[in-house]
Amino acid sequence: MDIGTRIAKLREDRGWTQEQTAVTLGISRAALSHYEKNRREPDTDTLTKFADLYSVTIDYLVGRTDNPRAVVDPNVRDFVDQLELSDNELLNKFALTIDGHKLTSEEAKRFIAFIRAERMMR
């Protein structure tokens, strides 16, 4: 099931109109319609709003799981949140990939530098 079908079904299961849902999410009704008909995909912030509104995970919305409430154990989440990807031992232990190709240490460091620079611009 695709994103649009899932968000439309979640809305319909609650008996909400597109207008009610759009107002709650802070988006236009037209944008919601485009998402539900798969003409557009929601950006990360909007996807997060959908997940919060419907009390489901983003993984469920994007079809990575059929369990709408599967969440990572809080202890695991705390551990993962504290990982520093620039640690060479971690880079070597976990295969970070893009397009099916493992990132080299240098590529991973450039990626991390890019993210840091992007965060500084916010």
User: pLDDT tens-digit profile of 39-85?
Assistant: 999 999 999 999 999 989 888 999 888 878 766 566 766 665 666 66
Of the candidates 44, 3, 54, 4, the one whose C-alpha atom is nearest the C-alpha of residue 24 is 54
Q: 12 with 35, same domain?
A: yes
52 lies in which domain range? Answer: 3-61
Handedness of CA 14, 58, 41, 49 (dihedral sign): positive
* Contact assessment for residue 90 and residue 79, using Cβ atoms and an 8 Å cutoff: no
Exposed (0-12), middle (13-18) or buried (19+): which is 111, by Cβ within 10 Å? Answer: middle
What integer best gives the mean pLDDT of the chain? 84
Q: Is residue 66 part of a domain?
A: no
Q: 14 with 55, same domain?
A: yes
Q: 56 with 82, same domain?
A: no
